[in-house]
Structure formats: structure tokens, C-alpha cells
Structure 1
Amino acid sequence: MWRGIALNGISLISAVLSYATLDMWAIGLNDLPYSLFLPSFAATAWYHKRLSDAHQSRDLTDFLAEVEEYATGDYLLALAKGDAISAEERSDVIRRVSDYTGLEPRFVDNSNLRIQIMRFCKELLRDEKRTVGRLDSRFTGVDTLAVTETPDVDPSMVHPGAPFTAMVNDYLRDALKYESDLNYEGMSRTVIEKWKYDSVRNGYLDTTAPLRTAFHRNPHLKVLVNYGYYDLATPYYAMQYTMNHLGLEPSRHADIHYAPYEAGHMMYIDDACR
């Protein structure tokens, strides 16, 4: 609904505007997320020193530029061929994905060239009996059994949870003088389960149209896209892809600015990012 309010700018933090860039569960039907997650997997492997010396010695952004080019180039084209991919091309994909992610070639092959998020979080450091976080893949955790397919919990959600809860309770009670016996829920399943998706049944949730409209109606609008390289919940390259597919005039892309952080989904937990 048009409210007659013109925004000077919009700041997006660890955002996703189209679930089509994230959904890995429609097996064989949506290959896009696998390519868009690849740079974040590569960044995670680089951080945990799981790559070859040739890659580990490189600057992160320089390394990721190469991975990005492959991800939406030869890799995505190969995935689009599905079962029709040749044996030679399949072998090349296995080699390249293994090289960029630190995963064993056999694992890439058994995953049908498509690396699912939670399997990656479990597999990358399996030989150390450690998992990596989804919200922030720099965090590591320990599962009850190292043999399972996916992590028991997300360590990057568990570890910051207690400090966040303590901090907000201190702020509410001491600074705001708000007294209540209600529990503070940093992540409420009750709330999430009540989200309604009636308008997107049989499709992907997508909010790019309102942003596109805002650009068209406001010639002065600027957008700042903030993201973390180690965010496996809303991967940075998926957001870049989305912004590049808004259908804007070329000149308007000068009004879109990107702010990358060597951090995860919640980059503000890092002193260097604040």
C-alpha cells in the first residue's frame, strides 16, 4: 500500500529476499542454491584451514572471486544438466568442488555434486569430531556421535545465546526498569510456527517485487547490503545474485552498495565489525 513516505535508504543485514536462492530440499528441481552456497562453503573451509596450501595462502576475497565465477558459471551449468552430465564433466565438478570446499571427492560424488548445508556443517571437520555453525561457520561444536549425517545443534546459535539473554534481561530490568516473570526467548519456535505463507503457496517466498517498486518510485533511493562471508543461513552470494536480478536500469545499480564482513550472520558480535 502506498503511504506517501519516501525512504532515503534501506540497510539490509544478513538478508534473504528470495527463498528460491536458499531452498535445497526440492531434490533435483532447484539447483540454484547449491551454486550460491558454494562461496560460503569455500570461505568456511579457508577459515578452518582445510584447503590446499595454494588456496590457504591467498587473500580471502581474491580466493572467493574465483569461486564465485565458477559457482554461477561452469558449476551451475553442470548441475543444470542433471543426469545427462557426462562422466568427464562430472569428474571435473567433483575435483573442483572438493578443491574449493575441503570436502573429500567421494563425499562430493555421493552427494550427487550438490552439497546440502547441514551435511556440510557436519562433514567439514568430521575427522576432528567437530561440527561448524550454520549462522556463523567459525563456531565449532561437538556432537554426541561423530557418525551422524547432520549436527545435533548449531554451535553458533548455542554459544552466543546465553550472553544475549543475560544482556537483554540486564538491560530490561536495570536500564528500562521493566519487571516481568515472563521468559525472554531469543529464538521462539512458537512465533516462527505462526508465520503465514498463504500468499506464496506452491511457490517461493519472494520480496524482491516491493524493493523493485521502491527503486522505480524513488529515484534517490539507496540500499546498503551488509553480509558476512561465514553466514551459512543467508549466504552472501545469494544476496548478490538477488540484487543483480531485480530488473533495474543499469544506472540504478550504482545506488546499491555492499558491505562485506569477515563474520557470520550476526556480524555485530565482532568488535571489529561494530
Structure 2
Amino acid sequence: MRFTTSLAALALALAPLSAHAADEKKKDDAAAAAAPVPPPNVSVTKHKGSFGGQSIAYTATTGETYLTDKDDKPVAAIFATSYVKDGGDPKTRPITFLYNGGPGSGSLWLHMGAFGPKRVVLPDGKDDGAPPYPVVDNPESLLDVTDLVFIDPVGTGFSHTLGGKEPKDYWGVSADAKSIAEFIRIWLNDNGRWASPKYIGGESYGTTRSVALINELEGSYNDVAVNGIILISTILDFGAAAEAQGNEMPYILNLPSMATTAWYHHKIANPPATVAEIAAQARAFAIGPYAAALLKGNQLGAEERASVRAELARLTGLSEAFVDNANLRVSPGRFYKELLRDRGQVIGRLDTRYTGVDYDKAGEEPDNDPSFYGIDAAYTSAINSYVRGDLKLKTDRHYVTIGGVSNWDWKLADQRGRDGEVYVNVAPYLGKALRENSGLRVFVGQGWYDFATPFFGAEYSLNRPGFDPSRISFHYYDAGHMMYVRPDDLRKLSADIRAFIRG
């Protein structure tokens, strides 16, 4: 009784204090909203480099661009880094806008890993360890064929809201796309580049953003026409990928990635010579006997089940007993843990070539993703040291590499239905854009060993009615989600995109 009374007294004592604190916070927020907004923080520097075998002099502009409301009041600062070739003809010189995914990821991965003039060097397939992480010249940057703008959406990188604007107002498929479309229009105005050939591109959720963005840029009468969309590690149809009981599509779409991974780790008996061959075998099985078996559910006969079980075990490198216990439905998490359990290893999600060691060999899923903790520190170090050093940006802000948003609104602006009934699929936007812009082409780059955005899922999304397959080109790489961490695939990816832009 004495303890309960003490708690009650404490609660009464704290109540006025809490109310006071809430009032003080409201006053601070109001003061921040009323405070004058400083001018955008921008740094401009001059550089030279060799890219694609050409010597290029270019201007780097890194810093903030302000988005404004209807009263012309700044409400958000979009951080971006632009690289523009000196002396380029704005009427013919392409410009490419790039970003990463998450949602909630900064653009540092494509910026410092693939297409920027500098890149961080990582040991391929291994943990990046401790610093220093070398940042070197990147001859694979695309500056020989296009100017580049790397964009960090609100809540990522150094981007943030202003004047009391709520960051969550930008955290949704459609809201995010609208803000990037607004940034692109401002950039074209400020740089006199409306006549330039234009490309947009992203990685992972950045591919979702690209397709939502093309709807914002070309989906109305006030169009910004685009020449090409670059999709790297593609995810457009989230309904098909949803791991929910009763949804059979994820098992079908993930199976070819399980087969390529089992092939890579030498878990397939009598394997074919190439990864492309095992992928072809797995595709055929996935959309044929395997899909039929899953759709039959409890009506699947014993003989057919046995046949499917045997082939599923062969393609995944797992035992027949394991796939049978899983009801022929092996989830990715179980696969990561089970494939190399006999070796005491787990495999990565972003890149299944990576392996790690868990606390123990028991359990259903890995403790963590070895293909992510194997690279994250190097990229974070690289972007902070490079932007603050070579590009001479002075800022006290913390660069948000990933995870800077929450409560993402997945409902599309033009989508009907209650929240629980929404099927998130932006692919129809792309089909519409292809039908309404005869000059638009699409580049799709997929890693054989990527489970975050499996290659068969990308193929499925873009193989529906309403798409012109003659203007969609698929390219495959011997790595995972971030194929550019493998030096040979960085060179191949760069060459493939160069050809795409020149085409």
C-alpha cells in the first residue's frame, strides 16, 4: 500500500512538469517555424578526371536546393551533388538524375560505389573491416556520356524539412516522387537544361521511386519528357513479393535466386556450366510444375508432390526432408540459414555470395545480413570524408545513410480502396509512360545473387500486358543487389549503361 501511494504521489508530482515540458516544446516548435530560414548551403568546386577513356573537366556543386510552398516559403532542403562537364552543349549533353532506395537511404551507394567520379574500394565478397577505406579515382563514372546529379530525398543524406514542416509529409510513394519531381524541375530551371536529353535512375526502392517519378514528370499536361529510365535491382510489384500466408507468388519468384545461389556455393549435384543455365532451368520449373503444385494446395497428389519435392530440393541445394517439412514453400530467411548450415555459415540477403557466422548453428534465420554489415561502414566513411574534403562542404548536419524515415505511406495517390486493401504495384505507371512516350527506353540491371529484389521478380513485373518489350533491355551480373561491389561487374554495368545512353 505504501509503495502504491508513493507511485501515485510521484505521478501527481510529474504531471504538471510533463504538461510544462509539452508547452515548452510547442513554443520551441513555433519559434523554429517563425525563425528566418538561412540561404541554402552550397559548395562549388572545379575538377578534372578520366572517365570512359576521356579526359573531362567538370564542375561539382554540392548542397541544398529549397522546395517551397504555395506562398513561396521554403519547406524542405533537398541535398544533391551535381557533376557537370565544363563546356558541354546543354541542348545535346544528357543529364542523369540518380538516387538510392530504402525507402530512407541516401544516394551514397550509387554515388561512392558506382557512378561518381570517386569511389570507395571494398574487398569483394568480404567484410569491409576497419578504416582506412581508400577513396580513389573512378574511371567507370559516366561523366564521359552524361552529366550526373545524385539526389538525397527528405530524411536521407543531409536533406531535411524547414520552417516547421513535418518530414512525414514527404514519406510516401507518391509524396516522395512529387518532391523529387519538384527538385528536378527546379534544377532544370536553375541550370538551363530543359532542352537536354534526360535520364532518371535508381537502385532498389529507387526503382520504385523512378517509376512513381515518371508518373509525376510525364503523367500530366505539364510534362518533363524523359529519354530513359535506369532500374538497378528492381522492385515494382510489392504485392507479388509479400511474404504472407496464402500468397504463393514469392515462392515462385524467389526460386530462381535460390537456384543461382545454390549453384554458386556448389550445392547442386551435376551443375550446369554457367549460372545463366541454372537460372533458365529454375525459371522453367518455377512457372511450370512448381507453380501448378502450389496452386493446387491440398489437392496436390502424392506422386506429383514427390516429383516436385525432388526437383525443388535439387535446384535449391536443400534436402528433400527440409523442403517437405516446409510444405514445398521455403522462405528466404530459412534458405539463408539452411543452405550452408553444414559448414557453420549463413548467407547474405543483399548478396548471397557473402557468408557469415552466427552465434550458433541452430535457429531458423540468420542473426544479421553479412552482405550488408560487410559494406556499410566503408560507404558512410567515404561520403562524409569526400563531401567535406574534396567538395569542401561545411555542415554540422549528420549524413543519414539509411533508415532516416518511418511510417512510409504505401498507398498511391490515385489508388482506391481502404489501407488494408492496397496492392502496391507501380509497374502500370511505367507501361503507361512507354505507351505515351515513344522515345522512352528502360534499362534493367539485375544481380544473379540478389534476394532483396530477385531477378525473376523484375522479369515478372515487366512482362505483363501493356509493356513494349522491344524498349526494355535486361542485363545480368555475377553479384548481388549492389553488383558494382564486384570490380568486373562495375565495369560491365558502367559499359552497359554507357551503351544505353548512347543508344
TM-score category of the 2 structures, normalised to the smaller one: over 0.9
Q: Which amino acid aligns with 2:265?
A: H
Q: Which amino acid aligns with 1:214?
A: A
Q: Which amino acid aligns with 2:409?
A: K
- The answer as to 2:305 corresponding to 1:86 is no
Q: Decide whether aligned partners of structure 1 residues 181 and 125 sit closer, same or farther in structure 2, where only a CA change above 3 A counts.
A: farther
Q: Tell me the CA shift for residue 195 of structure 1.
A: 1.3
8 A Cα contact 1:138 1:230, kept in partner: yes
Q: Tell me the CA shift for residue 50 of structure 1.
A: 0.8
CA distance in 2, matches of 1:111, 1:229: 24
Which of the numbers 194, 213, 221 marks the counterpart of 2:407?
Answer: 194
Q: Tell me the CA shift for residue 246 of structure 1.
A: 4.3
Aligned to 1:141: 356
Aligned to 1:273: 489
Q: Tell me the CA shift for residue 182 of structure 1.
A: 4.1
Q: Which has the higher contact order (CA 8 A, sep 6+)?
A: 1
Q: Tell me the CA shift for residue 257 of structure 1.
A: 0.3
Aligned to 1:50: 267
Q: Tell me the CA shift for residue 181 of structure 1.
A: 4.5
CA distance in 2, matches of 1:64, 1:212: 26
Of stretches 40-49 and 193-202 in structure 1, the one that deviates more from structure 2 is 193-202
- Say which SS state the counterpart of residue 359 (structure 2) adopts: coil
- Say which SS state the counterpart of residue 476 (structure 2) adopts: strand
Aligned to 1:209: 428
Aligned to 1:174: 389
Aligned to 1:41: 258
- The answer as to 2:459 corresponding to 1:237 is no
8 A Cα contact 1:208 1:246, kept in partner: no
8 A Cα contact 2:411 2:424, kept in partner: no
Q: Which amino acid aligns with 1:229?
A: W
- The answer as to 2:478 corresponding to 1:262 is yes
Aligned to 1:109: 324
Q: Tell me the CA shift for residue 84 of structure 1.
A: 1.0
Which of the numbers 245, 248, 262 marks the counterpart of 1:31?
Answer: 248
Aligned to 2:157: none
Q: Gapped runs of 5+ residues in structure 1?
A: none
CA distance in 1, matches of 2:285, 2:381: 43
Q: Gapped runs of 5+ residues in structure 2?
A: 1-218, 491-503
Moved over 6 A (4+): none
- Say which SS state the counterpart of residue 240 (structure 1) adopts: helix
- Say which SS state the counterpart of residue 234 (structure 2) adopts: coil
Q: Which amino acid aligns with 1:260?
A: Y
Of stretches 43-52 and 177-186 in structure 1, the one that deviates more from structure 2 is 177-186
Deviation sequence 1:72-98 (CA, Å, 0-9, x none): 111101100011101111111110010
Q: Which amino acid aligns with 1:225?
A: V
8 A Cα contact 2:257 2:454, kept in partner: yes
Q: Tell me the CA shift for residue 204 of structure 1.
A: 2.4
Deviation sequence 1:129-173 (CA, Å, 0-9, x none): 110000000000111121011011001110011111111111121
- Say which SS state the counterpart of residue 14 (structure 1) adopts: strand
CA distance in 1, matches of 2:399, 2:356: 24
8 A Cα contact 2:257 2:449, kept in partner: yes
Deviation sequence 1:193-229 (CA, Å, 0-9, x none): 2311244722321101210110110122111111100
8 A Cα contact 1:20 1:33, kept in partner: no
- Say which SS state the counterpart of residue 49 (structure 1) adopts: coil
Deviation sequence 1:30-74 (CA, Å, 0-9, x none): 11110111110011111111110x11x421112211111111111
Q: Tell me the CA shift for residue 185 of structure 1.
A: 3.4
- The answer as to 2:315 corresponding to 1:96 is no
CA distance in 1, matches of 2:230, 2:242: 24
CA distance in 1, matches of 2:438, 2:486: 35
Aligned to 1:150: 365
Q: Which amino acid aligns with 2:477?
A: Y
TM-score by length of 1: 0.92
CA distance in 1, matches of 2:352, 2:337: 11
Which of the numbers 355, 361, 377 marks the counterpart of 1:162?
Answer: 377
Aligned to 2:339: 124
8 A Cα contact 2:411 2:422, kept in partner: no
8 A Cα contact 2:233 2:481, kept in partner: yes
Rg comparison, structure with higher value: 2
| Structure 1 or 2: more strand by fraction | 2
Q: Which amino acid aligns with 1:221?
A: L
Aligned to 2:278: 63
Q: Which amino acid aligns with 1:80?
A: L
CA distance in 2, matches of 1:186, 1:253: 35
**Percent identity between the two aligned chains:** 39
